[in-house]
Each structure stands twice: as structure tokens, then as C-alpha cells.
Structure 1
Amino acid sequence: MLLTIFTVLILQSQTYYFLYTAYFLIEDLSILPLNPIQLVFGLIAIMFVIMGNVMPKLRKNSVLGLRTKWSMLNEETWKKSQRFGGITCMFAGVVLFIICISVDSFMSIVYSLLVLLSLLLVDVYYTYKIAKPYQKK
């Protein structure tokens, strides 16, 4: 359901952008610059904050959450992984939002991808570290 809402928001933002650019051809809207890349990454940032709030409340499942082979070992590793993943997702969402409103379009893509890659690496490494004591030798 969250993915459906996010998809609708992306499509609606594209529609509003197209309307904005069409109106820009008629009127001078230079006081309100709107960049579609910054708009999309802003919506992604908001989605990450919402996802970060939802993740700690998730029960163990095979569809949603921070799912690695280490986080799925048992219930304790699952809860710790989701709590840490939720915090890092909210932090990444805030950083992405700051990036998308303060940096031009191409560099916002580069910085956003770096933030998302570091989020992925940190979360996977954390799930590995907390599951290490539970793994069979």
C-alpha cells in the first residue's frame, strides 16, 4: 500500500510539473523555479522518513523491512535490524531532503545516490554484526 501511495505521488508530481512548465511558457514564473529532479528526490526523501517510522513496528515477514539473511535469523535480530534501519532511513530522508532543496539537479542526483549507497552499506553491515553471535559455527 505504501508503494502504491508513493507511485501515485510521483505520477501526480509529474502531472503538476508538466502543468507548471506549460504555464511557464505563457507567464513568467521565474520567481518560482521548479526542478523535476529535485521534486522527485524530495518525494523520495519524504518516503524514507515515513518508511523509517514504519520499520520498527514491522513483524517478521518476507516482503517489507530490512531483510537480509542475517536479520531473518530470529526474532531478536529482526527487531534490532528494523529499529536501526528505521533510524537510518529517517536520517537518510532528512539528509536527502536537505540535499534536494540546496543543491542543483545533477549534483543532487550524485549526492542522493551516495547517501542511499551508504545507507545500504551501513544497514547490511549492522545486520551482519548483530547476527554474528547467533550464527552456527
Structure 2
Amino acid sequence: MEDGTSQNLILVADDDKDLVLALSIRLKAAGYKVIGAHDGEEAFKFAAENKPDLIILDVRMPSGGGFSSIDRMKHSLTTRNIPVIFLTAFDDEEMRDEARKLGAAGFFRKPFNDMEFMEAIDRVLKGGTTGV
């Protein structure tokens, strides 16, 4: 797992401000730089401006949920190669299929296992996937 030396930038986008704060604290403690967004439009804007190494994206958010946001990002030259891990409170096979089709690097249901989630982030940042 990351030891704080890499300083990868991670964008956390979720309409639950408490979750964004909690994830930001956890990721910063692991040595990552973090920026937060609270809707799909803000996520796209911050991704284009900051070019993070990874995006953690909620499936359902105002102003464009995760699926429409990733679709938009995959069509933009500045954001198309940024890996995305989806978070959702809803876990059904249809959502996982859609995430796969859109090229997601991972898919986690809230609440998630912290250790598995952090290991998945490390794997994705090293060029792998977590399986969707």
C-alpha cells in the first residue's frame, strides 16, 4: 500500500459531503493528495483542471451522476485516461455491467471494507484494475 511518498492526486466526487470528508482524511493519511467534488459537473471540471491520477466517483449525484460523468470524461482528451473507481449505495448487476461498459477500474458498494478499498486504490494507481 502507498506509504505517503508518491503524492498521487485523487479526486473524490460524492454528493455526501461527510463521505468526501472522511475519504479525504483517510486518503491524506495514506499519503495521497485529495480534491473533493459534490456533483457530476464539479467532478468533470475539477478532473479537467487538475488531471488527477484517480477519480473515485459516486454513481448517483446531482448535476450528472457517475455514469454520465465518466462517459463525458472518456470523450475528453484531458480526462479520457484517468482511471475511475465507482462507489454506490446500490449494488445490482445492471450497474456493474454499465460500469464495465464505461471502462471503470473498480466498483465498490457503500459501506465498503477500508483495507480492500485502499488496496484497490494502490492497484489501480499501479496500472491494474480491481475487477468490476
TM-score normalised according to structure 2 size: 0.30
Name which one, 1 or 2, has greater alpha-carbon Rg. Answer: 1
Query: Higher strand share goes to which structure?
Result: 2
TM-score normalised according to structure 1 size: 0.29
